[in-house]
Structure 1
Amino acid sequence: MAHIVLFHSILGLRPVEGEIAAVFEADGHTVSLPDLFGGRAADTYEAGFAQRKEVGTEAIMERAKAAVDAAPADAVLAGVSFGAALIGEFWGDRPEMKGALLYAGITEWMDPPRPGLKVSAHIAKPDPFDDEEYFADWAAQKGEADLKMHRYENCGHYFLDPSLEDYNEEAARLCLDRSRAFLKGL
């Protein structure tokens, strides 16, 4: 079974991340949910970006690094949108990492991308924050990494969160099923 470090979205650590973790834990995995914003959460993206600025990059990165350092060397790094982007700060220094789960966002590839690294990305199509060329360019830069890019139509950016207008029940269920299969295959 995998140990998973799941970084939350720009909205902060909210119930949905606990619900995602519960799905994985029911399969026998261990999930760490670092609270990068120190207990702060927001209901809108605009408020989330404001709270990120207030908390500050230094505090966020210290908390993220502490969570990664506390996890086993082969832990799966996972993140939602802003949290997915954080993975790029760490995966280059984790040669034993089993894989990465990226939800509603992507991250900078390590240079070069590790051959065979399993990466499962789950992105709305279209995504309101980035255009299609952005995702196509990112996928083209994967090198020898083992990327599975999943796109979900008729949903919003963070389609896993039932408290947001972005939510799409069918896409969320399919995404979690694919994620569970990904973790089982590691």
Structure 2
Amino acid sequence: MAHVVLFHSILGLRPVEGEIAAVFEADGHTVMLPDLFDGQSADNYDAAFALRKEVGTDAIMERARAAVEAAPPEAVLSGVSFGASLIGEFWADRPQMAGALLFAGITDWMDPPTPGLPVSVHIARPDPFDDEDYFADWVAQKGEADLQMHRYDGAGHYFLDPSRDDYNEAAAKLCLDRSREFLKGL
């Protein structure tokens, strides 16, 4: 079974991350949910970006780094949107990691991407925060990483979160089913 470090979205650690973790834990995986905003969360993206600024990059990265260091070397790094972007800070230093699981966002590739590293990505199409060229360029830079790029047509950015207007039940179910299969295959 996999050990997963799941970083929350820019909105903070909210019930949806616990729900995602519960799905994976029901399959026997261990999931860590670091609280990068120290108990604070936001209801909308404007407030979330202000909260991120208030908490500060140094504190966020210190908490993220502590979570990664507490995880086994083979742990799967995972994140939602902003949380997905944080993975780029760590995966080059984790040659034994079993894989990466990114929801609603991507991150900078390590240079070069680890050959054969399983990476599963789940992104709405279109995504309101990034254009299609951005994602196409990212896929083109994957090198020899084992990338599974899943797109969800007509779903909102954070389509996994039932509390958000951009929630899409069918896309969320398909995404979690694909993610469960990905973790099972590691």
- Give the equivalent residue in structure 2 for 1:36: 36
| TM-score where L is the length of structure 2 | 1.00
Letter in 2 for 1:22: A
Matched, 1:50 2:53: no
Q: Deviations over 1:107-148 (max 9, x none)?
A: 000000000000000000000000000000000000000000
Distance 2:184 2:155 in 1: 26
Q: Does 1:8 align with 2:13?
A: no
Question: Matched residue pairs, number?
Answer: 186
Moved over 4 A (4+): none
Instruction: Give 1:98's aligned amino acid.
Output: A
Displacement of 1:155: 1.2
Q: Which runs of 5+ in 2 are unaligned?
A: none
> Which digits, 9 at most, give the CA deviation of each residue in 1:8-49, with x for residues without a partner?
000000000000000000000000000000000001011110
Q: Partners of 1:141 and 1:71 in 2: how far apart?
A: 27
Residue 173 of structure 1 pairs with residue 173 of structure 2: yes
- Tell me the amino acid that sits aligned with residue 145 of structure 2: A
User: Which structure 1 segments of 5+ residues have no match?
Assistant: none
Q: Which residue of 1 aligns with 2:112?
A: 112
The normalised TM-score by structure 1 is 1.00
Helix, strand or coil: the match of 2:50? helix
Partner of residue 80, structure 1: 80
What is aligned with 2:127? 127
Q: Which amino acid aligns with 2:181?
A: A
